[in-house]
Amino acid sequence: MSMRSFISLVCCLAVASVACGQEFKSGIEWPEPKVITPGEKPSDPPSDAIVLIGTDGMSAWNGGEKWKFEDGVATAAKGGINTKQKFGDIQLHMEWAAPDEVKGSGQGRGNSGVFLMGHYEVQILDSYDNTTYFDGQAGAVYKQSPPMVNAMKKPGEWNTYDIVFTKPIRNEKGDVVAPARITVIHNGVLVQNSYPIRGSTNWHKPPAYDRHKDAESISLQFHGNPVRFRNMWVREIEPIEPTFVPEDTKMVRYRADWSTEKITAAPPKESEATAEEAPAKEEPNKKEEPKAKDAKPKKEEVKEEAKPQAKTEEPKQEAKKEEKPE
């Protein structure tokens, strides 16, 4: 077959497959996604972002007046600060730099932290050629999950954090039924991949979920080191919701807060698999039922002991026949 003939055949088959195929339509109706204007550079806030540290000072922060602010750069001093506005699910961008002059070691070198909802800390630390415990270095979910890699820049150079955070989901009793999750990109490198947070990140006790509201402040820690911050902005995450979902749809909806039942059974396929396994576990009991029936002839044999031997041999033979398949 010539190359031209081969190509023609392939094209014909492709056209035929398209003609025979049928487009899948979910039947779900969605609103049109909102149009926003992205920043010219990755560090620039998009049009729907809330600027926390920009060119206009520290007015977005409680306690912001305690920090030094100059030319769009805030330097940690005299205590921690927290945002006046409260947030739940967010996308957060921030840039930070450890001091130029290296002082101290371990946790005493370029230490700060960003707290989501005031409870869940992503560690900020000068981890460039600085030995410390791994779940306490830059990019770690403090005391819970070390970064997958150390992407730290040299002291004095600017680092970037891009963070996606979703709050924990609670039921009507206030119990956590879906953990908070966090994704952290440090200097363009993924270091936390949708990590399920185990609870509040404490220094002195194991993680556990504390009671808090669905929206809380973002906090920046002062740990005695003059860590610098700039270009910090946040976007509130609002998942797009369908306007109509047909009752017979087979589309699986994974958002935990759509339905309490979906939370406890998530993902749904697991509950279906469990239901299918249940009959399989009962099968051995069903197979043992004939054994119970087999026992009846034995009782009859006891009653018929006084009868002639010829009559008693027949049940015995039947019992033997029934025992063979077992």
Q: Domain span at residue 301?
A: 269-323
Between residues 112 and 308, the one the model is more confident about? 112
116-146 pLDDT, tens digit each: 999 999 999 999 999 999 999 999 999 999 9
Residues 73 and 173 in one domain: yes
User: Would you say residue 24 lies in a domain?
Assistant: no
User: Would you say residue 13 lies in a domain?
Assistant: no
Residues 301 and 232 in one domain: no
Residues 199 and 310 in one domain: no
2-22 pLDDT, tens digit each: 666 656 665 666 665 555 679
Mean pLDDT of the chain: 81
77-130 pLDDT, tens digit each: 999 999 999 999 999 999 999 999 998 899 999 999 999 999 999 999 999 999
Specify the pTM: 0.71
User: Would you say residue 4 lies in a domain?
Assistant: no
Distance of alpha carbon 162 from alpha carbon 193, whole angstroms: 12
Residues 287 and 226 in one domain: no
User: Would you say residue 12 lies in a domain?
Assistant: no
User: Would you say residue 316 lies in a domain?
Assistant: yes
Strands, DSSP E only, in the chain? Answer: 50-53, 61-62, 68-70, 73-75, 81-83, 90-97, 112-116, 120-124, 159-166, 169-170, 176-178, 181-186, 189-196, 219-220, 228-236
Residues 81 and 207 in one domain: yes
Residues 89 and 167 in one domain: yes
Task: Compute the half-sphere exposure of residue 225: CA atoms within 13 Å on the CB side of its CA.
Answer: 29
* Beta carbons of 182 and 122 less than 8 angstroms apart: yes
Ranges 106-115, 190-199, 294-303: which has the least confidence: 294-303
Specify the pLDDT at position 245: 80
Residues 6+ apart with CB under 8 A from 233: 45, 49, 50, 51, 52, 54, 92, 93, 94
Question: Residue 209 is part of a domain; what is its CATH number?
Answer: 2.60.120.560
242 confidence band (pLDDT: 50, 70, 90)? confident
Residues 6+ apart with CB under 8 A from 277: none
Total structural domains within the chain: 2
